[in-house]
Amino acid sequence: MALCRSTWLSTLFNKAPTIAASAFSRCNFAALIAFSCLYIMKSTEELSGIAQQVRRDIVRMVHAVNSGHPGGSLGCTDYFVALYFHILNHRPDGFDMNGHGEDLFFLSNGHISPVWYSVLARSGYFPVSELATFRKLDTRLQGHPTTHEGLPGIRVASGSLGQGLSVALGAAQAKKLNGDPSIVYTLHGDGEIQEGQIWEAAMYAAHHKIDNIISTIDVNGQQIDGPTEKVMSLGNLRAKWEAFGWTVCEMEGNDMAEVLKGLTHAKSLTGQGKPIMILMTTSMGKGVDFMEGTPKWHGVAPNDAELANALGQLTETLGDY
Amino acid sequence: MALCRSTWLSTLFNKAPTIAASAFSRCNFAALIAFSCLYIMKSTEELSGIAQQVRRDIVRMVHAVNSGHPGGSLGCTDYFVALYFHILNHRPDGFDMNGHGEDLFFLSNGHISPVWYSVLARSGYFPVSELATFRKLDTRLQGHPTTHEGLPGIRVASGSLGQGLSVALGAAQAKKLNGDPSIVYTLHGDGEIQEGQIWEAAMYAAHHKIDNIISTIDVNGQQIDGPTEKVMSLGNLRAKWEAFGWTVCEMEGNDMAEVLKGLTHAKSLTGQGKPIMILMTTSMGKGVDFMEGTPKWHGVAPNDAELANALGQLTETLGDY
Amino acid sequence: MLNFEITGSNDTRSGFGAGLLEAGKRNPNVVALCADLIGSLKMDAFLKEFPERFFQVGIAEANMMGVAAGLTIGGKIPFTGTFANFSTGRVYDQIRQSIAYSGKNVKICASHAGLTLGEDGATHQILEDVGMMSMLPGMTVINPCDYNQTKAATLAIADFEGPVYLRFGRPKVPIFVPADEPFVIGKAWHMHHGKDVTIIATGHLVWKAVEAAQQLEAEGISVDLINIHTIKPLDVDAIVKSAAQTGAVVTAEEHQLIGGLGSMVAQALAVHQPTPLQMVGVNDSFGESGTPEQLMKKYGLESQDVYAAAKRVIAMKK
Amino acid sequence: MLNFEITGSNDTRSGFGAGLLEAGKRNPNVVALCADLIGSLKMDAFLKEFPERFFQVGIAEANMMGVAAGLTIGGKIPFTGTFANFSTGRVYDQIRQSIAYSGKNVKICASHAGLTLGEDGATHQILEDVGMMSMLPGMTVINPCDYNQTKAATLAIADFEGPVYLRFGRPKVPIFVPADEPFVIGKAWHMHHGKDVTIIATGHLVWKAVEAAQQLEAEGISVDLINIHTIKPLDVDAIVKSAAQTGAVVTAEEHQLIGGLGSMVAQALAVHQPTPLQMVGVNDSFGESGTPEQLMKKYGLESQDVYAAAKRVIAMKK
Ligand SMILES: Cc1ncc(C[n+]2csc(CCOP(=O)(O)OP(=O)(O)O)c2C)c(N)n1
Ligand SMILES: Cc1ncc(C[n+]2csc(CCOP(=O)(O)OP(=O)(O)O)c2C)c(N)n1
Ligand SMILES: [Mg+2]
Ligand SMILES: [Mg+2]
């Protein structure tokens, strides 16, 4: 059973698949030696190509229903692609809620569901064609991610901000109880960090030495009402997380090579008694020039002309859904 | 109209009352020049004497109803006495909910109501005899402080932890809107700081440059289930508050001279664009040897023998209620 | 006559925004707070006019409720603004202790209530807010039905002393309440007198109830139509009197049946005037993504559903 | 026969503590979390026996609910423990999204519910928790009446798949449920059959209802007595059948009347079987400090109050 059904993607890019030794190193979890893993690592260029397609998916999805959140989704696309196509040790074709022996990902800022849905579909969790149902009646691709409709890849609902870190910490502790050495990843918006529950969770993680978690904050400097600095300044984010007992890394989130380096580095810091936080600098709306660096496109869909303009800036690498 | 009806207390200690120039300096608030203030400053020894009496009140109150929280109350007695008998510019005999032109105090860790009730009564907010009604049916001295029964001196209910800082910040901002230069004080338990709402409020205060607030944390290192370090470590508290943009002071909370110095120093730091936090080290149960330094007496009342033992360690300076 | 002229169409939240601006002009003590949703709450006009009386709190709703409580202590009249779920469930204990139990003059103003916010889906579609707020002693709970009524309600609560929960929605809906219709907190608006069946509706369901009533009257069924804009304190008198006359009651609301207006009417009837009742509302289910119209249909909140409930309850009469 | 032998006296929270320990022994996936109230929740024995399966979260209830949701993802069965107000109102949105809507197998265990926690007063005396939890789709809500029933309920919910709210109290109360009485979630316990009046009680009020029923029976009034330990899903069948037989219903609970068991019974009756109803509960008021006994008396939750309600409702029968 392949951990990641991406051979066809590699083929698309005409690159020879390479075996990722690092993936094997995490497979010493007894119960899982059974499904030994052929993990296909992709080159940075391949990943960037996938990211182009994901960005096309995002703008097409929100345009089709005239609702949804393109800004944050576009900014976090490189992170999602790196995570799902390179970093995660996961099983897209045999989704199991408990995820024993798999790395887990939790999206706390649930409004950027478009990027997650696209990456989940493109990495094999469900048919790419289902992206066309986003936010439509009876869809499994609800406006905000949910387990309620049984969409593979989702392990908890989000949308109400500030809750995902706590959930991920529980999942990480369950892994420890189960003797599962996998890693739990989370993503948060920078505005989301204003929620008090985040700081409750931060304190909890350090106290319980939860060192199998790698959290990332999408530091795009924007939230709905404007720049974070003006709405509710986060001050010195590194100092805050360090004071709360986390190991803090920084990473440029819109440069695929940097993202890969940053996530790989963070991985090397797990198991050292401290939770890990990556402050990821991104540009909201990245990849579509008129959406970049402004909160205007936080939760607004492009009209037909804007869609055409956006698609003109993004190469179709894997075929539109 | 006297700002503080404490001449009789000073008399008790046979010390000549001194006029506090500092009190006048805060009285430039137009609407209040009317009630110009004869503020009586007391010596450190006088204040320590009052603290002895307050500690007697505390153990007697909780003993009488076999419920309530003596530990934190005893630890914070010196702070309360210093605040109400020396620092606050307030009107005990004309309680006004809005408190225009007065300094305000908010108790966020409402379970230590006994010390607050004693100090309120002893500084003239209501008859000392009413302390005997603590936690009894139909009392104004509810288990946790409330405005619901109209007790003078209380401006918001507390008891559910973590809410008081937010309320105080709103009151401080109202003062700014009203052109009232008075100061708002708050007290919090160290365990209480684990609540996320505290950190929401912390961020808000820094962002809005609320510099007319002086908060204090009772760092007694204890909470209900044991030492804070074991239950949920607060880590580096100074670093946390500094990272959240506050000016941080430290103060020994069971030394009256130090408390006076600490609060006076904090006052000198107001008006500089930053909220002020005092980390106050105390010993839980201070003043009653068998209650000291343990969480055991967080919320347990002494029996008859223990009461006698406790009272034997505390001088009756102002007359028991 | 059941002849309510539709004078336009607008969202109730815009009625709130207009009312807030007007309240701010009338009373300098009116202040506003928002948790990173200024545009959604239509608070822009107030912010522009009174920047120094506006407090941005970011995404920190619990803190917002506390700060609002504190502002009252300086004599201010704070209006908080965020979505309805973050105005209630996210901050219930804060409202309970720092506002309701403390008797603070805070106006909790909540947008995007119910299913009709549409595509965002269940995490945002609170259907329990009226129930939560109504259980709080001392809380006044208001759910107006159109732009004009929401604006009037906003002005009325600014003048009212005490904590208030004001609930409104996202989509444009018909405007049919006369702009000069007085808004009296706690007093039901008896929209039409009839003798065969009582229909009691609140919020977006009032217009659906009007449509249902028109259809029923066209069939010769006489409808007593009551607009309950104030759910707490409930106008029990109006309800019980009407039930006594018609002997059959329908309630209609954009809320869970458990804990909503229907449950409060059921209680009032059972105690004072046991009467057959049929309730229109969401039946113990979360919402989901879809257009407001699709969702109202799927979850049984259309005028057809009110009509059908009326027919059912009439059949229950002895 | 209304002959329930009192076999002792203990607090329901101790029944929870004993049940939790036992559940932990039976199933290694059972884990527990507590927010700085181990002793109050009687979780000490579990902690001692299974330290590695116990998670102290400090005073951070919102985080506790999230962590519990996350633990289920690794196949654990988490029991959270804190006071009832901090188990519900403080964390409603967290429960709603991360537990109820996400369908997580979390057991929310809540002590010190209602007035009977006594001296701590209103901020701690939640009277709205049952209403809040019952509005949540997919939530099971249980309010047992004595030590034995609470222990049995704790064991039952450990075996049940899905989110559960388990409510219990602080003071010692009579033990009268047989230790071997089976606990079936969702099934009312029909304690006594009668024909003149139905009394439906939950939690601490069940014993008060037994006393009231004894008094009524002594006067020749035949009482149908139903113990509703599971408030959601409500055993509507049992209630409607009983109401059809007696034609008069009384409900009794340590909760606000608005949103509580009484309101759910009123809804069920109005829709299925309109019947006169009298409700015993707290009437739109906060609690206060006092002994449990004083408070039950002052707020009208004594057996005398149940008795009087029965007399009133019988008088309402045509
Ligand atoms: C608890 C909560 N409060 C408010 C909202 C409404 N809301 C959705 S996204 C958002 C802004 C989030 O900012 P950020 O986390 O920086 O995400 P970005 O806009 O950068 O994508 C807000 C306020 C929410 N979803 N949840
Ligand atoms: C929101 C909330 N959670 C839990 C409690 C129960 N509780 C009351 S006091 C307390 C411990 C507080 O610790 P700390 O703030 O350090 O006060 P201290 O024990 O030192 O007086 C707890 C958990 C509460 N009152 N409020
Ligand atoms: Mg952002
Ligand atoms: Mg402490």
Nearest CA to ligand 2 atom 25: B160
Residues of C (123-142) whose Cβ lies below 8 Å from A: 123-124
B171 lines ligand 2 (CB under 6 A): no
Query: What average pLDDT score do residues B204-230 get?
Result: 98
Residue B10 confidence class, pLDDT cut points 50, 70, 90: very low
Interchain contact D68–A (C-beta under 8 A): yes
Instruction: Write the CB contacts of B268 (distance below 8 Å, at least 6 apart in sequence).
Output: none
Task: List C-alpha distances in Å: C114 to A79, A138, C60, C119, C122.
Answer: 34, 18, 22, 12, 9
List the helix and strand counts (H, then E) for chain B. Answer: 12, 9
- Burial (CB < 10 A; 0-12, 13-18, 19+), residue B255, is middle
B163 lines ligand 2 (CB under 6 A): no
Asked whether B221 and B209 are in contact (CB, 8 A), the reply is: no
Residues of chain C short of pLDDT 50, as ranges, are none
**What does DSSP say about strands C249-256 and D30-34: parallel, antiparallel, or unpaired?**
unpaired
Domains and CATH numbers, chain B: 2-312 (3.40.50.970)
Q: What is the pLDDT of residue B34?
A: 36
Q: Which residue of C has its CA nearest to B196?
A: C62
Task: List C-alpha distances in Å: C124 to B239, C286, D187.
Answer: 36, 10, 33
Q: What is the largest CA-CA distance in chain A?
A: 54
The set of chains that have 3 or more CB pairs under 8 A with D is A, B, C
| Average pLDDT of chain B to the nearest whole number | 90
C-alpha C72/C-alpha C176 separation (Å) is 35
C-alpha B105/C-alpha D106 separation (Å) is 40
Asked whether C36 and A225 are in contact (CB, 8 A), the reply is: yes
Which of B136, B138, B231 is closest, CB to CB, to D56?
A: B231
Query: What average pLDDT score do residues D5-19 get?
Result: 97
C-alpha C97/C-alpha B157 separation (Å) is 6
Instruction: Write the CB contacts of A87 (distance below 8 Å, at least 6 apart in sequence).
Output: A103, A185, A260, A263, A264, A267
Helix (H, G, I), strand (E, B) or coil at B7: helix
Tens-place pLDDT, residues D93-147 = 999 999 999 999 999 999 999 999 999 999 999 999 999 999 999 999 999 999 9
Q: What is the pLDDT of residue D2?
A: 82
- Burial (CB < 10 A; 0-12, 13-18, 19+), residue A35, is middle
The pTM for the full model equals: 0.95
Interchain contact C70–B (C-beta under 8 A): yes
Residues of chain A short of pLDDT 50, as ranges, are 1-39
Helix axes B196-207, C61-73, angle to 10 degrees: 60
Asked whether C164 and C296 are in contact (CB, 8 A), the reply is: no
**Six-digit token pair at D81?**
């423990």
Residues counted in chain A: 321
Task: List C-alpha distances in Å: A220 to A73, A77, A217, C149, C159.
Answer: 11, 13, 9, 40, 42
Nearest to residue B230, comparing CAs of B295, B277, B178? B295
C-alpha A66/C-alpha C120 separation (Å) is 12
E strand or H helix at B158: none
Looking from the CA of residue A111, the nearest atom of ligand 1 is: 9
Q: Same CATH fold, D189-315 and D9-174?
A: yes
Q: What is the pLDDT of residue C2?
A: 83
Residue B39 confidence class, pLDDT cut points 50, 70, 90: very low
**Chain B residues in contact with D171 (beta carbon < 8 A):** none
Asked whether D238 and D246 are in contact (CB, 8 A), the reply is: no
Nearest to residue C193, comparing CAs of C257, C246, C236? C246
Q: What is the pLDDT of residue B36?
A: 34
Best of A95, A166, A210 to disrupt the D interface by mutation (most D CBs within 10 Å)?
A166
Helix axes D61-73, A164-177, angle to 10 degrees: 50
Which of B137, B159, B232 is closest, CB to CB, to D123?
A: B159
Locate the domains of chain C by residue range: 9-174, 189-315
Give the other-Cβ count within 10 Å of D26's Cβ: 12
Min Cα distance D9 → chain C (Å) is 32
Sign of CA dihedral A222, A227, A229, A231: negative
**Six-digit token pair at C235?**
């106008």
Cis before A227? omega within 30: no
Tens-place pLDDT, residues B73-106 = 999 999 999 999 999 999 999 999 999 999 999 9
Q: Classify domain D9-174 by CATH number.
A: 3.40.50.970
CB contact under 8 A, B159 and D121: yes
Q: What is the pLDDT of residue D1?
A: 60
Interchain contact C85–D (C-beta under 8 A): yes
E strand or H helix at D54: strand D54-56
Q: What is the pLDDT of residue A76?
A: 98
Tens-place pLDDT, residues D233-257 = 999 999 999 999 999 999 999 999 9
Distance from the first to the final alpha carbon of chain C: 28
Catalytic status, residue C61: yes
DSSP-assigned letter for residue A86? I
Q: Which of A161, A163, A197 gets mutated to test ligand 1 (max ligand atoms within 8 A of its CB)?
A: A161
What class does CATH assign to D189-315?
A: alpha beta
Q: What is the pLDDT of residue A113?
A: 98
Residue B32 has pLDDT above 50, yes or no: no
Residue B70 has pLDDT above 60, yes or no: yes
Query: Could you tell me which residues of chain B have a Cβ less than 8 Å from any Cβ in chain C?
Result: 97-100, 104, 146-148, 155-160, 163-175, 177-178, 180, 196-197, 200-201, 203-204, 207-208
C-alpha D269/C-alpha D267 separation (Å) is 5
Helix (H, G, I), strand (E, B) or coil at C168: coil
Asked whether D202 and D145 are in contact (CB, 8 A), the reply is: yes
